[in-house]
Amino acid sequence: MRRPFGAGGLFVRLRGEAGGFYRALGRGSDGRYTARVKVPRGGLASIRFGLDGVRIVAGHESPAPVYFPLDNDPFAGQG
């Protein structure tokens, strides 16, 4: 069963067909989030949705994003 959740740091990450990564932060609450993204020139090579996370090991912090699967992912199985 799907349940709404609250989170900070929701993001959308795009990889352009010509290279480079683009990132947009999402906003929302009650399990409904939106993000406004601009498709890079040349089109998309991939798209990912996730939450910002932090990993702490021996007192050192490093980024640890958590990605969500995309229903009907048009890029599934590529690359």
Q: Within a domain: residue 77?
A: no
Strand segments, DSSP code E, in 1-79 are 10-16, 21-25, 27-29, 32-34, 44-51, 54-57, 60-63, 66-68
| 9, pLDDT greater than 80 | no
Residues forming a β-bridge with 15: 21, 46
Q: Within a domain: residue 75?
A: no
Q: Within a domain: residue 58?
A: yes
**Maximum Cα–Cα distance for the chain, whole Å?**
43
> Band of the pLDDT at 30, cuts 50, 70, 90?
low
Q: What pLDDT shows up at residue 50?
A: 86
| 43, pLDDT greater than 60 | yes
Q: What pLDDT shows up at residue 47?
A: 87
Query: CB–CB of 14/21 below 8 Å?
Result: yes
| 66, pLDDT greater than 80 | yes
Read off the pTM. Answer: 0.65
Quote the number of domains for the chain: 1
Residue that wins the pLDDT comparison between 26 and 16? 16
Q: Within a domain: residue 50?
A: yes
pLDDT, mean of residues 7-36? 76
